[in-house]
Every structure is written in structure tokens, then in C-alpha cells.
Chains A and B, each alone.
Chain A
Amino acid sequence: MNLLFILFFPLLIGAFLLIAKPKHAFIISISATILEAIATGIVLFKINESQLSITFIQDWIPELGIQFSLVADGISGVLIGLCALLLPFIIGSTAKTEKANHAQYQGLILLMQSAMMGAFLAKDAFLFYFFFEASLLPIYFLASNFGGENRSAITFKFLIYTIFGSLFLFIGLIYVYLRTPGATHSADIETLYLTARNLSAESQGYLFMAFFIAFAIKMPIFPFHTWQPDTYTTSPSQGTMLLSGVMLKMGTYGVIRLIIPMFPLGLGTWGNTAMILSIIGVIYGSIIAIQQKDAKRLLAYSSFAHVGLISAGMLTQSFEGIQGALYQMLSHGINVVGLFFVIEIIERRTKSRELAQLGGITQSSYALTVTFMILSLGSVALPLTNGFIGEFILLKSIFDYSLIFGIIAGITIILGAVYTLRLLQKTMFGNASRITTEFAGLTLEEKMVLIPLSIFVLLGGIFPNTILHFSEESVMQITQLLK
């Protein structure tokens, strides 16, 4: 019951906002997301207490064995937690702007939340696909209607690219689904695990590729990333936050949920290639990030680099790798939403994101500097921040898997520090430029978003075990399947 509520509540409110276009959209959507966060919190608390997953199963298309089934366990719990946690901040970041009471804008964000929740909760593979695709439409409309320069062409490319990728996932799913036992077949994820694992190594190899391309485009992994920097840059800030904070995790979640348990032989053949691509992404993304002039674009490439590391960690198929990936998904989501918001605050006041034109903001806004610093250090993975825990576990798992991969991926710590600190230094420190001399301090609404996010960064660094313990059981189940 609770699962149905957290799945459909944002959808209802979002649809209401889109259709009725009420005047005070901001109040409605922020209270809806807070309520959603509380409801999700209750569900997660229950799971944590009982260490059992919560499921909801309802027949959908019985003749085809397709069910409307949802599950919240340790893995999906982390992600619905992330999604529910971030949305109030994403909505909150629109406060006092012209978008705050734009009913359509807020409605699309809520629809997006509903679709992402659905993807993370789905227990039936086709239901997962359903939400995986459905989440594209609201973000597409959001980015294409409210984005920046040249948005029409860029978001169109994004849309075609991602749908093209998901079509591979679609045929892959159908292929496995038709091999499940029984006259009606079944698309339940657990049944698919058992079926797919018994396929020949060759079929598993092809299926691995089909699934991986879909998720690699979503994340994105080198060389499927070409849509990402443009889309992140041109989307409105909230769109970018949704894309990088939560939506990207649908790709990484898909790898943990579907690829790793389903295709052990496929991973055996192609896992190394996929890992090499991910690690190339880490290095390549970092190097390009260092050279960026536009702050938002810099963050887009840094996100690309981070997700490469997450992907490389998961693909080691080890307990640490998956745990680290889950933890890093959470930290990356929190950090990146905060960082994109900082950039938006700067852009609102100075009308510029060019690093060359900025600088010296610390002289006028101390609060912004401190929060920005904490968020950046989280992104650099300094000890005592959430990023450190995630990257540490991930790198450990990669080192265990292969020393060379570990060493190359380890460079990310240095490169990450270079581009993040460069961003921090060029915007915050140095002499104030013409446009930053009269930089107004943070408003209350902005503080309400940035300060809690910074606190989460620190809390995540100091008490990692709450989350790690939460997902332990479910990750163990997946790694058990691999033995």
C-alpha cells in the first residue's frame, strides 16, 4: 500500500498541476515532495527495522505473465531514498524565481519523480522498462520548453539517443522473457535471473551488450556520452539536477539489478571491455573537465567522470564494488544537486557562468563559499565527506579486481581535485571581477537548500554505516547469485 502511495502520489499531484494550473504551484509541489519524502522515509525505516523487503504484487496482463509488481529492498531502497530526498531540494531551488509558481514546470518535475520511483521500485522487468522510458517524456518537455540556447536540437538529440538505447534493452528483455518457463512466461526479475543465467555464453554476450548499451547511454559511459554535456548545459538547472542527480542512477541501478545477476557469462566475456570503457570515461571526462570555461559544462564532465568510476566499481561484481557503487550513487546525487544549484545562484546574480568573468565571491558571500566548499570537497572525495567513502570502496574493489585498472582509475582522485578546486578557486577566490563586486548574499530560501545538503555531505562522511548496513543484505543476495 505504502509503495503504491509513493509511486502514484507525485503523479497525481503532478497531473493536477498540469491540468488545473493553480496559482500557488510552488507551495503545492514543495509540500507534495516533502510528504513524499516522509512517506518514503517510513517505508525505508520499516525495511531497515525488519531487514525484509516490502513487495506489492498485482496481476497486470496475466496471459503474458506480466505483473504490476513492486519491491523495495536494500538496493532499491537506497535509490528511492535518494529520489525522495533530493526532490524537495530541487523544487526548493526554484523558490522566488519565475519558475516557482509555474504550474507546468513543477508538474513536470513531479511526473518525473513518479516515473523514476517506478523504475527503482519495479519488480517486473517490463514494468521497469515502462518507467525507464516514461521518465524520458517529462524531462524532455522540461528541457525543451524551459532550457537555454539551441535547446530544441540538443534535447531532441538526447531523446532520440536514449530511446534508441532503450530499444536494445527492450529486445533483450523480450528475448530472455520468452525463454522463461511456463506457458504464459514470466517477466518477474527473479525468474529472469534464473532463466538468463542458463543461457549459452554466446547469447549472454549479445544480451549483455544489448542491456549495457541502454544503460551506458543513460549513465553515460564513454563513447555513448556525446549527448550529455550539451543536454546538461542547456537544460534548466532543475532539469540538470534531475538528470544528473537521479535519472542517471536509473542506468547504474539497471546494471546492478539486471545485468550483474542475469549475465554472469556475458560479463565474463565483455565485462573487461565495459570496465575499460568506464575507466576511459573517468580519465577522459576529468581531462576535458579541467579545460572547461563554462562552470555548468565543467560539472557535466565531472559527473561523466564520476559515473564512470561507479560503473567500473559495479562491474567488478564484488560485494564491495556494488556497495561502493550504491553509496557513491547516493553521495554523487547529493553533491551534484548542490553544485548545480551553486552555479545557478551565481548565474542568477551575475548572468554568467564563464569562469574567466567570475571570482572573488567569497568577499561578498561567506555562506555560499562555505557550502560550496563542502560540496566540492565531497565531490573531490576528501576524508570525512560522503564522496570519500564511496570512492574509497569503489577504488578498493577495482584494485582487488585488477591492479592496472586500479592504478589508472586511481588517477581520478588527483584529476578530480584539479578540476573541482579550479572551479572553486576561479569562482570564489581571487579578485572580485566587474560582475561579482556587488554579489548579494544568500537568501533564506537558498540557504534552506544548500545548508542541509552540505550537512548531508558531512553526515555521509561520518556515519556511512547506516546506509552501508541498510543495503548489505540485498547486495549480499546478488553477490551470492554470482557464486
Chain B
Amino acid sequence: MTAIIALSLFGISNLFLGFWFPRKVLQVLTLLFLAIGMGLTAIDWNHELLWFGNMFRTTNTSINFSLIIQLAAFLVVALSKAFGADDEHTHPAEYYAIMLFSVVGAIIMVSFDHMIMLFVGLEILSVAMYVLTGSDKRNLKSNEAALKYFLMGAFATGILLFGITLVYGATKSFYTSNLANIIAATAPESMPSFLYIGVLLMIVGLLFKVSAAPFHFWTPDVYEGAPTIFTMFMSTVVKTAGFAAIYHILSGVFGGIYSTWVFPIYFISMLTLLIGNVTAAYQQSIKRMLAYSSISHAGYMLMTVNAKQISSTSTILYYSLSYTLATVAAFAVLIIVSEYQTGRKEKPEDYSSFEGLAKNNPGLAFCMTISLLSLAGIPLTAGFWGKFFIFSDSFSRNVIYPVILAILMSAVGIYYYFKGIIAMYFKNGDIDRIEVPLLFKIALWFCTVATLALGVYPNIVKNLF
């Protein structure tokens, strides 16, 4: 688990390197750091080890999650052309450093073996995200978003901590492996009732972070207010880490009291699907639509969180990966287009600013189309198999109604994702050829090609998980 140490050091050094180097150098250095981080993470493959006083466990699952998180961060850094070359108010060194720190937090969240570690990881991640959300400091919306996110997030963390306390009170242990044993060894009747309250409070705290309904109210405003590059970061890294943590807690730790949380989880999952999809269909702004779509994807992912199934792990991993690739590409095109339209259109992030994109920028339109198709779950894209694995997992444990709702909601999803495609291909607009930096192009095409490759041959990665 040298990766988190290395990444923390890199983050600190990034702060100092900012004195001497311009943004472009820092960007390349950060990419290098993340690559090293991935390498260090991968070294532990097949060695199940405990670290830091047994508070931290690396398993193949946690390594996979860490790799997806770092890949997402890598892509986001590669796509971070936006923060201004000639703007004295932006501080690239700090942004890159904070992103590295939040990656450290995320990695801790996916590999904790001790409840305090979960809390520490979540806080490192969250505080970093509060800062990044408000980083566009002259933009009123960005400030509002940061404040909202911070206030709500602080509440959620408090609730999580309260839950941890109650669970500790009931079981006298912080270690997740111990907890699972204690719960398995004790008869359900002899458990104090506040254990269950504790479990539910912990789940609520974490569900807030992955924006599941009814804890999603912050999401659209925060996603919209934050600079798009950090929205991209938030919707991929935070989501993946959050789901890994929820999955670990529910199936790994509290699998023994399955019946306590399974119905709330299904209920929340169905509610999330309903609210996320239906509200997304009403949005005018692509950025807000993507925010609601990220809520709806949380609903899909919640459907597979279940103790009694081995295939869930690979399903969640596969889904996180496909969702990450598609979301990164969609936000990347949004960045390019909205930057071009700023000053030309009143609302540069609306569907209307994508009108006619395909005419002079077929490449960008193609990447956006593939990512939207993947999010919608159309065959030939990674998203299709993601949905397939989720539905077949749910069916194989006789979960019927959430799947039927999910199917209906997929149809709603097709409506709002295709609205973007229609705007790009079938509406008239005057968008000239937009120049895209090379690194940006490479990262964008990587996402697109990977989405297609996973769509045609999901085994490339499914075998690894």
C-alpha cells in the first residue's frame, strides 16, 4: 500500500513544484505521479496484506477499485486543459495537489479494514472536493455550490460517524473483519437494537456521498456550480469510492444482518432510479442532465449491492469502469463545447449549444454519441453489458420489481440521452471547427475506444475482476 504514501508525497511536492513550473509541466508530472501510483497499487496484486496496524487491507477487489479510481483521476488530469493558461486567479499546482490528495482519500475508502479509516478516507476525499467545487472563486454559482456541498456533506459525515459509534457500542469493535465475525456469531435477538440503527445511519451517510435519493438534493446544484472538470472528477472518483465503501460495508461487514438493510436499499434504489431518470428528462442543461443521470446510475448500482452473491463484485467493478469511461468522455466534450459557446450563447451548457456539432466536428460528436449510448445502455457499448450484468445478477436472486422499474427507467434514459444526439446531428447550428489539444484528444479517444472495446468484448476486463 505504498501508493497512498507515494501519492501523498507527490501531492505535497506538487505544491512546491508550482513555484517553478508552468501548468503544462505540472500536468505531465501529475500524470506521471498517477501512473506511478497505479504501478505501486498493482504490485500488491494477489497478495492479501494488512497495513497500518491492521487498519488497512489490500485485496484484489480493493486494488481493482483503486485502479479504476486512479484511471479516472488520470483521465481527468489529462483532460484538464481548462484552468486558464493566462488567468492569475487559477492555481494549477494546488488543483493538481488537491486532486492527488482526494485520490488518496478515495483509495483509503476502498481498502479500509477499520471504521475510523473509512471515516478518515471519506473526510480526505470530501474536504478536497469542497475546495475544488468552490475553486472558481469569482463565480457566484461555484461559491454557492461549495457552501451547499460543504454544509450537507458535513451533516452526512456526522451521521456516518454517529452510525459508527452506535455500531461500536453494540459490538465493541472497529475492525471490519472482527465485526463480521461478531455479527455472525451472535444471535440476532441478542443484538442491541441500536446496532441496526447504527448500520442504517452509516448507510445513510455513505448514500449521501453517492447521491442516492432521497439524499440527492445537493447533486444538481453542486454539479452545475462546480467547474466542469471537477464535476467530472466528482461524478467518477467519488462515486466509485462511495460504492466500493457501501459494498464493502453491506456485503462484507453487515452481510450477517442482511434482512435489516436489504429492503431499505431496494426502496432507495427504486426511488433513486425514479427521481434521477424522470427529473433528468426535464433538464435543459446537459450538465444538469448528467448530474441527474449520475443519480440514476447510482440507482442501478445499488441494485447489485448484495451479500449473497460472488458475481456482485465483478458487476460493480465493471459498471464503475464503464460508467467512468462514458462520463469522462461526456463531460470532456461538454467542456470543449461550452467553452466554445461561452460568449456566443446565453447558456453555453444547454442542449441548444450542441446543435450542429456533428457538421464541423465529427470526431467530438462521435465521442459524445458513444458515451451517451453507453450511458443509455445500447448494445455495442460498455454500458450495455454493465446493465446486463446488473439485471442478470438481480434476476438470479429473484429480485423482480426493481428490475422491471429499472427497465422502464432505461427507456426514459434513452429519451434524454438521445436528445443530446439529436441536437448534435439533426439540428442546425453554426459551430466552427474547434481546436482540441493533443493530450485532450488522446484521453477522449481512449475513453471512446475503450467503451466500444468493452462493449464488443467485455471479457477483456471482466476476467480481471
Enumerate chain B residues within 8 angstroms of A63, measured Cβ to Cβ: 459, 462-463
The answer to the question of B418 belonging to the interface, with a C-beta cut-off of 8 Å to chain A, is: yes
User: Which residue from A133, A145, A151, A177 sits with its C-beta under 8 Å from B392?
Assistant: A177
User: Which residue from B407, B459, B462, B463 sits with its C-beta under 8 Å from A171?
Assistant: B407
Contact A174 B388 (CB under 8 A): yes
> Which of A95-103, A161-169, A339-347, A463-471 lies at the binding interface?
A161-169
Contact B407 A130 (CB under 8 A): no
B26 shortest CB reach to chain A, Å: 36
Contact A178 B378 (CB under 8 A): no
In the complex formed, the residue of B with least CB distance to A19 is B362
Contact A152 B426 (CB under 8 A): yes
A221 shortest CB reach to chain B, Å: 19
The residues in B between 408 and 465 inclusive whose CB is less than 8 angstroms from any CB of A are: 408, 410-411, 414-415, 418, 422, 425-427, 457-459, 462-463
In this complex, the interface size class of chain B, counting residues with CB under 8 Å from chain A, is 20 to 34
Which residue, B378, B379, B425, has most C-beta atoms of chain A within 10 A?
Answer: B379
User: Which residue from A134, A159, A171, A178 sits with its C-beta under 8 Å from B418?
Assistant: A159
The 8 A CB mask of B204-224 against A (1 = contact, 0 = none) is: 000000000000000000000
Contact B407 A170 (CB under 8 A): yes
Given A129-B379, A137-B378, A164-B411; A61-B459 close (CB under 8 Å): yes
Enumerate chain A residues within 8 angstroms of B392, measured Cβ to Cβ: 64, 174, 177-178
The residues in B between 348 and 403 inclusive whose CB is less than 8 angstroms from any CB of A are: 373, 378-380, 388, 391-392, 395-396, 403
Contact A178 B407 (CB under 8 A): no
Given A144-B426, A145-B426, A163-B411; A156-B418 close (CB under 8 Å): yes
Which residue, A60, A61, A151, has most C-beta atoms of chain B within 10 A?
Answer: A61
In the complex formed, the residue of B with least CB distance to A175 is B395
A325 shortest CB reach to chain B, Å: 27
Contact B422 A144 (CB under 8 A): yes
Enumerate chain B residues within 8 angstroms of A160, measured Cβ to Cβ: 411, 414-415, 418
The answer to the question of A141 belonging to the interface, with a C-beta cut-off of 8 Å to chain B, is: yes
The answer to the question of B404 belonging to the interface, with a C-beta cut-off of 8 Å to chain A, is: yes
Enumerate chain A residues within 8 angstroms of B404, measured Cβ to Cβ: 171
Enumerate chain B residues within 8 angstroms of A156, measured Cβ to Cβ: 418, 422
Contact A167 B410 (CB under 8 A): yes
User: Given the complex of chains A and B, what is the CA–CA distance between A152 and B408 in angstroms?
Assistant: 23
The 8 A CB mask of A281-297 against B (1 = contact, 0 = none) is: 00000000000000000
In the complex formed, the residue of B with least CB distance to A137 is B378
Contact A174 B462 (CB under 8 A): no
Contact B426 A171 (CB under 8 A): no
Enumerate chain B residues within 8 angstroms of A145, measured Cβ to Cβ: 425-426
Enumerate chain A residues within 8 angstroms of B379, measured Cβ to Cβ: 129-130, 133-134
In the complex formed, the residue of B with least CB distance to A206 is B400
In the complex formed, the residue of B with least CB distance to A178 is B396
The 8 A CB mask of B225-251 against A (1 = contact, 0 = none) is: 000000000000000000000000000
Number of interface residues of A (CB under 8 A): 29
Contact B425 A141 (CB under 8 A): yes
The 8 A CB mask of B246-259 against A (1 = contact, 0 = none) is: 00000000000000
The residues in B between 172 and 212 inclusive whose CB is less than 8 angstroms from any CB of A are: none
The 8 A CB mask of B156-181 against A (1 = contact, 0 = none) is: 00000000000000000000000000
Enumerate chain B residues within 8 angstroms of A134, measured Cβ to Cβ: 379-380
Enumerate chain A residues within 8 angstroms of B462, measured Cβ to Cβ: 61, 63
B424 shortest CB reach to chain A, Å: 11
Enumerate chain A residues within 8 angstroms of B411, measured Cβ to Cβ: 160, 163-164, 167
User: Given the complex of chains A and B, what is the CA–CA distance between A137 and B415 in angstroms?
Assistant: 14
Enumerate chain B residues within 8 angstroms of A178, measured Cβ to Cβ: 392, 395-396
A22 shortest CB reach to chain B, Å: 16
A180 shortest CB reach to chain B, Å: 11
Enumerate chain A residues within 8 angstroms of B408, measured Cβ to Cβ: 167
Contact B425 A144 (CB under 8 A): yes
The 8 A CB mask of A126-165 against B (1 = contact, 0 = none) is: 1001100110010001001100000110001001100110
Enumerate chain B residues within 8 angstroms of A167, measured Cβ to Cβ: 407-408, 410-411
B98 shortest CB reach to chain A, Å: 40
User: Given the complex of chains A and B, what is the CA–CA distance between A145 and B426 in angstroms?
Assistant: 6
Contact A159 B378 (CB under 8 A): no
Contact A174 B395 (CB under 8 A): yes
User: Which residue from B396, B414, B422, B458 sits with its C-beta under 8 Å from A61?
Assistant: B458
Contact B414 A163 (CB under 8 A): yes
The residues in A between 341 and 382 inclusive whose CB is less than 8 angstroms from any CB of B are: none
User: Given the complex of chains A and B, what is the CA–CA distance between A61 and B462 in angstroms?
Assistant: 9
User: Given the complex of chains A and B, what is the CA–CA distance between A159 and B410 in angstroms?
Assistant: 13
A144 shortest CB reach to chain B, Å: 5
User: Given the complex of chains A and B, what is the CA–CA distance between A81 and B392 in angstroms?
Assistant: 34
A13 shortest CB reach to chain B, Å: 18
User: Given the complex of chains A and B, what is the CA–CA distance between A63 and B380 in angstroms?
Assistant: 19
User: Given the complex of chains A and B, what is the CA–CA distance between A159 and B380 in angstroms?
Assistant: 17
The residues in B between 93 and 115 inclusive whose CB is less than 8 angstroms from any CB of A are: none
User: Given the complex of chains A and B, what is the CA–CA distance between A410 and B29 in angstroms?
Assistant: 77
A247 shortest CB reach to chain B, Å: 16
Contact A170 B418 (CB under 8 A): no
A239 shortest CB reach to chain B, Å: 14
Enumerate chain A residues within 8 angstroms of B407, measured Cβ to Cβ: 167-168, 170-171
User: Given the complex of chains A and B, what is the CA–CA distance between A133 and B415 in angstroms?
Assistant: 15
Enumerate chain B residues within 8 angstroms of A159, measured Cβ to Cβ: 414, 418
Enumerate chain A residues within 8 angstroms of B422, measured Cβ to Cβ: 144, 152, 156
A147 shortest CB reach to chain B, Å: 10
A108 shortest CB reach to chain B, Å: 12
In the complex formed, the residue of A with least CB distance to B380 is A134
In the complex formed, the residue of B with least CB distance to A144 is B426
Enumerate chain A residues within 8 angstroms of B459, measured Cβ to Cβ: 60-63
Enumerate chain B residues within 8 angstroms of A61, measured Cβ to Cβ: 458-459, 462
Given A61-B458, A63-B462; A171-B395 close (CB under 8 Å): yes
Enumerate chain A residues within 8 angstroms of B425, measured Cβ to Cβ: 141, 144-145
Contact B426 A174 (CB under 8 A): no
Which 5 residue pairs of A and B lie closest in terms of their CB atoms, listed nearest first? A164-B411, A133-B379, A130-B379, A167-B407, A178-B396
A-B contact pairs, 22 of them (CB 8 A): A60-B457, A61-B458, A61-B462, A62-B459, A63-B462, A63-B463, A130-B380, A134-B379, A137-B373, A144-B422, A145-B425, A152-B422, A156-B422, A163-B378, A167-B407, A167-B408, A167-B410, A170-B388, A171-B391, A171-B407, A174-B391, A174-B392
Q: Which residues of A approach B to under 8 Å, CB–CB?
A: 60-64, 126, 129-130, 133-134, 137, 141, 144-145, 151-152, 156, 159-160, 163-164, 167-168, 170-171, 174-175, 177-178
Q: Which residues of B approach A to under 8 Å, CB–CB?
A: 373, 378-380, 388, 391-392, 395-396, 403-404, 407-408, 410-411, 414-415, 418, 422, 425-427, 457-459, 462-463
- Known contacts A61-B458, A63-B463; 8 further A-B pairs (Cβ under 8 A): A61-B462, A63-B462, A134-B379, A159-B414, A164-B411, A174-B395, A175-B395, A178-B392
